[in-house]
Amino acid sequence: MENETRIIELVKGIVEELVENNVESLPLEDDTETMDLIEELDYYPGVMTLPPEEAYYQLDDIIYIYKQTVPHFRLEKNNFKKAFPKLLYMVDFDLYYDNERSDLTLQCNIYEDKHGKWFIRVSNIHVM
């Protein structure tokens, strides 16, 4: 349950930024472009609204979590270890428009750095 609470708080932060139209301030995956997200959001009709609080707690219905197990370290050339954040979870969250659950889905990855700190990166927003 502790991990679910951490996941919810990270996702809520991203959703709040989206509702406030602060797309430029979102933490993105390296291969994700802000303009692509803005374009996708502009295509969708209606006004994005905050989901009801209970939406964040329906983990099996609205937040889809795919647990990952990737190590913090990989070997580079000459067998030197290089630290990478560990991918913990891939999360899908259906966004709300005009106070209704939509089929526009936010996709994020949650990582843990080598010091145990969790952080989130947006990978995509698209219709699912």
> For residue 123, is pLDDT > 90?
yes
Q: Are 90 and 117 in contact (CB under 8 A)?
A: no
Q: Name the average pLDDT for the chain.
A: 85
Question: What count of residues does the chain have?
Answer: 128
User: Per-residue b/e over 81-118, b at no fewer than 16 CB within 10 Å?
Assistant: eeeebbbbbebbbbbbbeeeebebbbbbbbbeeeeeeb
Q: pTM of this prediction?
A: 0.83
How far is the C-alpha of 112 from the C-alpha of 63, rounded, in Å?
19
pLDDT tens column, 39-53:
999 999 999 999 999
Neighbours of 41 (CB within 10 A): 15
At 112, the pLDDT band (50, 70, 90 cuts) reads: confident
How many CA atoms are closer than 13 Å to the CA of 76, on its beta-carbon side? 6
Q: Which two tokens stand for residue 51?
A: 């989901």
The tens digit of pLDDT for each residue in 76-100 reads 556 555 667 888 888 899 999 999 9
The number of distinct structural domains making up the chain is 1
- DSSP assignment letter at 30: T
Rg (CA), the chain: 16
Structural domain for 103, as ranges = 2-127
Of 2-11, 73-82, 98-107, the one with minimum mean pLDDT is 73-82
pLDDT of residue 107: 93
pLDDT confidence bin for 64, thresholds 50/70/90: low
Q: What is the mean pLDDT of residues 5-27?
A: 95
Among 128, 127, 87, residue whose Cα is nearest residue 108: 87
Residues 41/33, Cβ–Cβ less than 8 Å? no
